[in-house]
Chains A and B, each alone.
Chain A
Amino acid sequence: MPVEGVAANGHLLAVSNLTKLFGSFAACNGINLQIERGEIHALLGENGAGKSTLVKMLFGVLAPTAGEILWQGQSVRIANPAAARKLGIGMVFQHFSLFEALTVAENIALSMDANISLAKVAEEASRLSHAYGLPLDPKAHVADLSVGERQRIEIVRALLQNPRLIILDEPTSVLTPQEADRLFETLYKLKAEGRSVLYISHRLEEVQRICDRATVLRHGKVTGACDPKAETPSSLARMMVGSDVAAVTAEGTNAKGQVQLEARHLTVPARTPFAVSLKNICLKVHAGEVLAIAGVAGNGQGELFDALSGEYPVADDNAVQIRQRPVGTRNINARRLMGAGFVPEERHGHAAVSALPLSDNLVLARSRSDAKAFLGGGFLKVIRRDAVTSATKRISEAMDVRKSGEDPPAGSLSGGNLQKFIVGRELDRQPSVLVVNQPTWGVDAGAASRIRQALVDLAKAGSAVLVISQDLDEIFEVATEIAVISDGRLSDPYPAQELSREKIGLLMGGMYGKTEGTEAAHAH
């Protein structure tokens, strides 16, 4: 389906001086950007750099405060997504908007004109999906589909509008490496047809591999426009972060000690219809070791964290052991008292309460384990503000937490700074066991490297560290051993040096017992 002839001169889309203010805060500040016909253009930036705000303005979700959008050389005002689609802009959001109970075709039909029959939608969707290498069964229910397949629905839905520009927001964050490869093939096809793609990502490797040009944002401003293939990962990272990112050093962490954290045939039924059940999980983390658990989101990572942390204790006391004592039925504070520390995935509303100041968020995790230091007044349990405040200060300094004011609400910190505080809050106790779920999810590169280094250093100092992560770069940076979780089952652990990305990708897809030959066939 080639794009009909348009005047070949000029940019497809040009943005000049585009600004979006939220109150007095400039999420986008005088952005200039040009997208040519038939190019894959990367939009790079840390979290909070203004990428999402920019594309929301392009797609008509947000109205710009100032500046101009030129579509094929003409100034346009995009009032809503329908207007954007009409112009020829399609978007695939990071978080899908699909009805799980409906079929693929029904979901697609919802975004189309009401007078097109369902059969026609199904036929067209099926034709498009095969033409672009995105196999989809129009009659399948969304609830039964994998995340990758769901993303295909969104892409097909966007393609049905015959767009000239497709915006993809962090499309590979939910995909296995193999699924990502297939997506890239589709993008090449779109490009060959003369369509343009605006590709938002913070994965430098991908951007270098598939994108023709890149625009880098930082703090709402354009800090660089370049050909990513001519750059190195570290030069791109520099544009994103503004300074050289310290490389994490993981050498010398191999001295194994005693088993500090162990799961023995841990089996947990699903708590809700949408949860994953854990099936016979066995793992051991020795002192001085970082065991990383890789996997695509939603394969039981959260459930495993809940069981190990004791937020949801399990029925079998022996299934979880901390420092070789059974704790399966004990709650999270009992486990903390035995020397364990925990960092959950979600910062807001789980690891921290956004509206409460940092000092209160320190009490949140340590009211029991540090009762001697933080509580006074006998049975009244009066919180000792002076002790809490000085500990908050100590942690903020140790982890270089940048904040406005002495004790601001947790919600006012950037993701990276809050995460540094949340990790620092546990490190401050020198835990002998640390369980971390997605330690640097949505965190800028500078904070991520600091956090990863802290995890490696903790293991070096003789603690057992378990890291659950979807980020393979992170896993290879910190791990001494790697296991993969898929559909609530955990693979055997492999030493980090012996495991390739392809092998992990296959394990993520649930292929454990396949021979080497099969793996090679699937690798590309």
Chain B
Amino acid sequence: MRIELEKRAKVSTLFSILSPFIAFLLTIVFGGIMFALLGKNPVMALYSFFVEPLSEVWSLHELAIKAAPLILIAVGLSVCFRSNNWNIGAEGQFIMGAIAGSILPVVFYDWQSPLVLPLMMLMGMLGGALFAAIPAFLKAHMNTNEILTSLMLVYVAQLFLDWLVRGPWRNPGGMNFPETRTFAVDAILPEMIASGRTHWGFAFAIIAAVLVWFMMRYTLKGFEISVLGQSERAGRFAGFSSRRMIWFSMLLSGAFAGLAGISEVSGAIQQLRPVISPGYGFTAIIVAFLGRLNPLGIVAAGLVLALTYLGGEAAQLSIGVSEKVTRVFQGLLLFFVLSCDTLIHYRIKLIFDRLTATTSEGSR
């Protein structure tokens, strides 16, 4: 017996839309089973994981804070993935953006001006983009695999940050803790709404999502991205350059990841530390796919994945499971999203081998 995937004649529009929801439902069911196996009451556990964080105003603000970098990075990644460029190193670009953006408040901390904040944001974008330019250059001109190079550069960025905050950028008045000096008021991204901590990073994410959505939906550039993603040869026939597209998509997603990085540091952490991201750059890959590589879908998906971060923290406190549960849920979610998408395009067929039957019939 073997299992075959047979392409469906027609893809159901209804299930294409429902797919992320079904994936989410399955994640909850299997998450419940996992909690039960851990000896917890699954209903209570799921409640504290998924519902409790939504019940108070302050935690909704936390949700927005966590969703902002996820959405911003995932929107950039969606352009990459649509054009068939597999930037897996957004985590590194996020960190390098944060470092580049922090030059002003850490090194030139004396300079107080309303210009500081916009400059920090620009430098953050530049830092992320330049770091993404490395795998872009290697792919466009040396034909290397960007999945490997961008991924490996993540560790370079992480260790570079670690070295900076322990070495040259360590706060002189910080009791030898591996941290930079805290940012001055001029260098802090302000809160958006009076009721809580949500900073302007969330607005950046929404604006970026809407702009990219418009680009993909209406403009020739968006058309170019999807053509080159589906067939490089057809793109060449159209006069589009896949090499330029490597640069465009990598620099764009790098800049978005960099902006997310500096926004996170400036708005939420307000200094540099050895670790500034709980894996936003990697989780954003799940967000991008859960949102079907559609910027508006990504906004919703970003909120869902942000909830898994909050839920992990909440579950650790209230029912005493490891916060690694977050990773399990994210993994389950990605698995079910991809499975649902596969089953929308293909049907599973069990083939029972009839070889023995044939020989007996043939020699009858």
Partner of A356, one of B8, B10, B227, B354: B227
Report 29 cross-chain contacts, Cβ distance below 8 Å, ordered by A residue: A23-B8, A23-B9, A25-B9, A71-B362, A74-B364, A76-B362, A77-B357, A79-B353, A83-B362, A86-B362, A87-B362, A331-B239, A344-B237, A349-B231, A349-B234, A350-B237, A352-B234, A353-B231, A354-B230, A356-B226, A363-B220, A364-B237, A365-B238, A367-B223, A380-B218, A381-B220, A382-B218, A382-B220, A383-B223
Interface string of B238-255 (1 = CB under 8 A from A): 110000000000000000
Q: Using a CB-CB cutoff of 8 Å, which residues 144-180 of chain A contact chain B?
A: none
> A380–B237 contact, CB under 8 A?
no
Is A80 interfacial (CB-CB < 8 Å)? yes
Interface string of A378-394 (1 = CB under 8 A from B): 00111100000000000
- Specify which chain B residues have a CB less than 8 angstroms from the CB of A365 in the assembled complex: 237-238
Contact of A353 with B234 in the complex, beta carbons under 8 Å = yes
List of A residues within 8 angstroms of B354 by Cβ: 77, 79
Known: A25-B9, A381-B220. A83 touches B359 (CB 8 A): yes
Task: Note all chain B residues with C-beta closer than 8 A to A368.
Answer: 239
Say yes or no for A57: interface residue by CB 8 A criterion. no
A324 to chain B, nearest CB (A): 23
Which residues of A65-98 are within 8 A (CB) of B? 71, 74-80, 82-83, 86-87
Partner of B233, one of A78, A86, A349: A349
Rounded to whole angstroms, the CA-CA distance of A77 and B355 in the bound complex is 9
- Chain B residue with Cβ nearest A24: B9
Contacts of B10 in A (CB 8 A): 23
A residues lining the B interface (CB < 8 Å) = 22-25, 71, 74-80, 82-83, 86-87, 309, 311, 331-333, 336, 342, 344, 346, 349-356, 360, 363-365, 367-368, 375, 377, 380-383
A352 CA to B230 CA, complexed, in Å: 10
- A79, B8: Cβ atoms closer than 8 Å: no
Chain B, 1-42, contact with A by CB distance < 8 Å: what is the 0/1 string? 000000011100000000000000000000000000000000
A sample of 10 more A-B contacts (CB under 8 A), given A311-B236, A382-B219, is A74-B361, A82-B355, A83-B355, A342-B237, A350-B233, A353-B227, A360-B227, A364-B234, A367-B239, A377-B219
A383 x B355 contact (CB < 8 A) = no
Chain A residues near B353 (CB-CB < 8 A): 79
Which among B8, B223, B238 has the greatest number of chain A C-beta atoms within 10 A?
B238
Is the CB–CB distance between B357 and A381 below 8 Å? no
Which B residues touch A25, using CB under 8 A? 9
Q: Check if A375 sits within 8 Å of B358, measured CB to CB.
A: no
Q: Are B227 and A364 within 8 A (Cβ)?
A: yes
Chain A nearest Cβ from B248, distance in angstroms: 14
A333 touches B239 (CB 8 A): yes
> Are the C-beta atoms of B230 and A311 separated by less than 8 Å?
no
A79 near B355: Cβ-Cβ < 8 Å: yes
Chain B hits for A363, CB < 8 A? 220, 223, 238
- Provided the pairs A331-B239, A332-B237 are in contact, do residues A79 and B358 lie with their beta carbons within 8 angstroms? yes
A365 to B10, CA, bound (A): 27
- The smallest C-beta distance from A48 to any residue of chain B, in angstroms, reads 15
A residues less than 8 Å from B221 (CB atoms): 381
- A383 CA to B353 CA, complexed, in Å: 52
Q: How many A-B residue pairs have CB under 8 A?
A: 96
* Alpha-carbon separation in the docked complex, A380 to B353 (Å): 57
How far apart sit A332 and B223, CA to CA, in the bound complex (Å)?
Answer: 18
- Alpha-carbon separation in the docked complex, A458 to B361 (Å): 60
Kindly list chain A residues whose C-beta atoms are within 8 Å of the C-beta of B358: 76-79, 83
Query: A351 CA to B236 CA in the complex, in Å?
Result: 10
Across the interface, which residues of A come within 8 angstroms of B357, CB to CB? Answer: 77, 79
Q: How far is the CA of A369 from the CA of B239 in the complex (A)?
A: 11
Residues of B within 8 A of A (CB): 8-10, 218-221, 223, 226-227, 230-231, 233-234, 236-239, 353-355, 357-359, 361-362, 364
CB neighbours of A23 from chain B (8 A): 8-10
| Given A83-B355, A367-B223, A382-B218, residue A74 in contact with residue B362 (CB < 8 A) | yes
Complex CA–CA separation, A323 to B71 (angstroms): 51
- Across the interface, which residues of A come within 8 angstroms of B364, CB to CB? 74
Q: Which chain B residue lies CB-closest to A352?
A: B234
Cβ-neighbour of A351 out of B227, B234, B361 (below 8 A): B234
Distance A23 CA – B10 CA, assembled complex (angstroms): 9
Q: Which residues on B sit within 8 Å (CB–CB) of A80?
A: 355
Chain A's closest residue to B351 (CB) is A63
A220–B9 alpha-carbon span in the complex (Å)? 17
Given A353-B231, A355-B230, A364-B237, do A77 and B220 touch, yes or no (CB 8 Å)?
no
Closest to A380 in B: B219
A336-B218 Cα distance, complex, nearest whole Å? 24
Q: In whole angstroms, what is the CA distance A365 to B353 when docked?
A: 47
**Beta-carbon nearest neighbor of A385 in chain B:** B218
The smallest C-beta distance from A58 to any residue of chain B, in angstroms, reads 14
- Minimum C-beta distance from A405 to chain B (A): 12
Say which residue of B226, B237, B361 sits within 8 Å of A75 (CB atoms).
B361
The docked-state distance in angstroms from the alpha carbon of A383 to that of B219 is 5
B218: chain A residues at CB < 8 Å are: 377, 380, 382-383
Whole-angstrom distance between the alpha carbons of A78 and B354 in the complex?
8
A350–B231 Cα distance when bound, in Å, is 7
Q: State whether B223 touches A360 (Cβ < 8 A).
A: yes
Chain B residue with minimal CB distance to A336?
Answer: B239
Residues of B close to A331: CB separation below 8 A:
239
Report how far A38 CA is from B9 CA in the complex, Å. Answer: 40
Q: Which of B219, B221, B361 has the most CB of A within 10 A?
A: B219
State the CA gap A75–B234 with chains docked (Å): 48
Residues of A within 8 A of B230 (CB): 349, 353-356
- Known contacts A24-B9, A331-B239; is-contact A350 B359 (Cβ 8 Å): no
Note all chain A residues with C-beta closer than 8 A to B226: 356
CA distance A367 to B221 in the complex (A): 11
The answer to whether B355 and A367 have CB atoms under 8 Å apart is no
Find chain B residues with CB under 8 A from A353 CB. 227, 230-231, 234
Q: In the bound complex, what is the Cα–Cα distance between A404 and B231 (angstroms)?
A: 24
| Chain B min CB distance to A362 (Å) | 11
Decide: B238 and A367 in contact? CB cutoff 8 A. Answer: yes
Min C-beta distance of A458 to chain B, whole Å: 20
- C-alpha spacing A344/B235, complex, angstroms: 13
Query: Which residues of A lie under 8 Å from residue B361 when comparing CB positions?
Result: 74-77
CB B205 to nearest CB in A, in angstroms, measures 22
B221's nearest neighbour on chain A, judged by CB, is: A381
User: Closest residue of chain B to A80, judged by CB?
Assistant: B355
CB–CB A381/B219 < 8 A: yes
Residues of B within 8 A of A77 (CB): 354, 357-358, 361
Q: Is the CB–CB distance between A367 and B234 below 8 Å?
A: no
Q: How far is the CB of B346 from chain A (nearest CB, A)?
A: 12
Task: Please give me the 9 A-B residue pairs with the lowest Cβ-Cβ distance, nearest first.
Answer: A23-B9, A333-B239, A381-B220, A349-B231, A79-B354, A350-B233, A364-B238, A83-B358, A353-B234
